[in-house]
Amino acid sequence: MNNIDYNIFKAIEQDKKLTEIYLGYQPFDWFFTTAKYSATCTEAVEFTLFDKTICGLLNIESSLSFEDIGEILGFNVIDNPSQKKYKDYAEYEILRDALQSLEEFEMITTGDNSYSYCQLTDIGKEYFQKGKKFKVHTNKRFELYFDNTNNEHSTARDNFEFLKSVNTEENLFNSRIDYEDEQLLKSFSENQIPEIYNVERMNSFKDSILIEKEHKSTTLYAVFLVDVISGKYRTLVYEEFSKTINDYFSTYLRNNREKVGDLFSQVLQKYSLFQNPISDDFLYREELIKSQKDIERIIVEDKNISEEISKNVNQLKFIEPFMFIDRLDTIIKNSENEVWLMFDKVSKLLIETLSKVIKNINDKYLFIYLPVNDGLEVELEGFKSKVSESLNSYLIIGNIDEFNVISQKTNKTSIYKKDSFPLKISGKSIKYQFVKKYLNVDVKGHIETFRRDFANEYLENISKETDSLILEKVNSDDLSNYSTKEIENIDFKIRPFYNLSEHDLILNEIKENKTTLLNAVKKARKKKIETFIDSVFEEIQGLDLSDERKFKTLKSKISKEKEKFEEQETSLFLEVEKKFLLKEKEFELIKKRKSIIIDTNILIEEPKIIDRIGSLQNIIFSAKVIDELDSLKNKSETKVKAQDAIREIRKHQKKGNISFNSSKVNNLPDDLDKKSPDNMILSVALQYKKRNPILLTNDKGLQIKAEMLEIPAKTITELTSLLSLSKKRRTKNRKKL
């Protein structure tokens, strides 16, 4: 099989039924000519609005002057102040340009440069009737394509312009055409060069002169598909440049029975006859027919078409060689653990296919046998180099005389082998080679023999490389830098040979060295994690519950460090994560806490307000409030309440449930009285602006000023509702200070 075969198969794959067998191809030549010409070309130009209008006027009047035309059009093209006419230079230039254009196309004749009179010429009258004006190009060049094989010149440019071709001598095909016959040229020019020749657009040429011509040929490929049921064949033509089937060439060939029959005979010569076939030899047809019907049903149902068709094809027991190569990667992907690939013939295509396989498939072992091929020494050496660089592939190049591809799935072994079956064509049967899939085959003995072949080829070098890798890592400065997965896979390439008893001494030593290294790496990584966790514990202990940025930084730090380690190691982070989670909950509670700054009048109304609010909130007293309470305990009407309030404050001060702060009046706006007691309390509230402040006060004026400075102000009733506090009976005395 070569690349052309494979490319043809890919081109026909979507169109070909499973019951159609790709028999092969036969190249044939197609002749065409490219010719370059020079001619006098006439190009039709659409009338502008001015063209139509001016020619229409001159068609009615025998002659008109520049001024007459301007006046009819309503243009101001003359200066005559006495008649209140003033020249519009823009309109003057527009009309002059229009007349000049008509003159250039020889449609009008004029008396002088000032267009004192304008008349339509005979050509102008003709053009006016046609509604177009015509530009003449002398010695204009163009190129035409001639289809010498089929004489279908109209589509020749489309079919040949981008084809790979070679120059050829004059022959029977290209010499029968008169390349200087202008009528012949015009018969197909409209399709090839519509910009030069187009009857509808009135583009034309005359007096054509042949400058040069080149006879060319291109190689096309007649492709033959045989129906396994009827034995009839159909023909397609493959074009190599586009890598597609070309309908034009295919139709020609199908209509030329003698030629296609000759090409088909040449393809059949590659096959030998199948002598005396019996009915059992044709059983493959039943499977292909059944699979084709299944595919047609899937297409009709229109459900997961691509997936279902692929599944159907993968289950085939009889596979065309081209389809087998195309689906080799899928066959390998569907196998488990190991695949054995033994080929009795090698080609560039096979090497390219296997190169892609070893690059894209890394989760199973690939053992490859390829035969010696003197013509492909460079390609085989390159492939051998790629195999040596891979972690899962092995290659033996030798005297291989058998084709076997062995795969395993769920303890079932399948083997693909080449086998010849009769393919009936016109009453005769030829030998056609399918790749046949045999299921549930016992090939354990063969596989063990194959394994020893590869062990003898590879084991010495792989064991040295593995020992060297282990030693290099053992002597490294920090074992924690290696992942356990990396160490576990350090012997990946040698692993398929561990059960070979004759190599126990070497293999057991590698196993022991790997185990020792793995334990050392696990220990180093665990110590690294523990060191990190200890440092995090210290940071958690020192966390300021009010610093949100530090919380986010520490959380990100733990997460990033955890990502560096493997899944089985993440359990070591559980304790520190729990500790951080508890601290984070504390932080969230702190974030939700209100900073309540209590005014003096609230304490006189409700001395036990601290108990009412509870310990979940941050309660702050201004030094000014304490000062005011101290004064109020000396007044008879507030003495009891003030003393009770002072006692409550003192009690909670000892418990550490409250905090005190002094005023910073410089934080207040300039237009507020900085000596006002209320404003001093307000300045304390401003210090908690970023910590959910609430100013608890009954003073309406203070409430207004607080909210003006974006500090929420609440009464006891409003705070009770906001914080869902318990509703205790309050004293009836709510005297406002």
Residue 191, amino acid? N
Model confidence pLDDT, tens digit, residues 165-185: 999 999 988 899 999 999 999
Question: Using 50, 70 and 90 to split pLDDT, how confident is the model at 654?
Answer: confident
Model confidence pLDDT, tens digit, residues 438-487: 988 888 899 999 999 999 999 999 999 999 999 999 998 899 999 999 99
Return the HEC string of 233-299. Answer: EEEEEEECCCCEECHHHHHHHHHCHHHHHHHHHHHHCCCCECCCCCHHHHCHHHHHHHHHHHHHHHH
pLDDT of residue 724: 67
DSSP three-state, residue 421: strand
pLDDT of residue 104: 87
558 vs 724: which has the higher pLDDT: 558
CB 230: neighbour CB atoms within 10 A?
A: 10
Pair of tokens at residue 50? 């001015």
CA distances from 692 to 31, 545, 657, 686 (A): 90, 15, 17, 11
Q: What is the mean pLDDT of the chain?
A: 89
Q: Which of 703, 702, 694, 700 is nearest to 721 (CA)?
A: 694
435/416 Cα distance (integer angstroms): 6
Model confidence pLDDT, tens digit, residues 506-544: 999 999 999 999 999 999 999 998 898 888 888 877 776
433/361 Cα distance (integer angstroms): 28
Question: Using 50, 70 and 90 to split pLDDT, how confident is the model at 127?
Answer: confident
Q: Which of 179, 119, 134 is nearest to 153 (CA)?
A: 179
For residue 156, pLDDT beyond 60? yes
Question: Using 50, 70 and 90 to split pLDDT, how confident is the model at 690?
Answer: confident
375 vs 734: which has the higher pLDDT: 375
Please report where in the chains the tokens 């082998």 appear, as a residue: 417
Mean pLDDT, rounded, for 299-328 = 82
For residue 632, pLDDT beyond 80? yes
26/266 Cα distance (integer angstroms): 7
Domains, the chain, ordered by start: 3-37+138-268 (no CATH), 48-130 (1.10.10.10), 280-442 (3.30.870), 458-587 (no CATH), 593-723 (3.40.50.1010)
184/208 Cα distance (integer angstroms): 12
Q: Which of 33, 26, 17, 51 is nearest to 210 (CA)?
A: 33
Model confidence pLDDT, tens digit, residues 135-152: 889 999 999 999 999 999
| Residue 201, CA atoms < 13 Å, CB-side half-sphere | 16
Alpha carbon distance, N-terminus to C-terminus of the chain? 106
Q: Give percent of the chain with pLDDT exceeding 70.
A: 96
For residue 308, pLDDT beyond 80? no
704/679 Cα distance (integer angstroms): 12
For residue 425, pLDDT beyond 60? yes
Pair of tokens at residue 272? 């030998």
629 vs 736: which has the higher pLDDT: 629
Among 81-95, 253-267, 499-513, 571-585, where is mean pLDDT lowest? 571-585
DSSP three-state, residue 191: helix
Q: Give percent of the chain with pLDDT exceeding 90.
A: 61
Residue 730 is classified by DSSP as: P
pLDDT of residue 93: 93
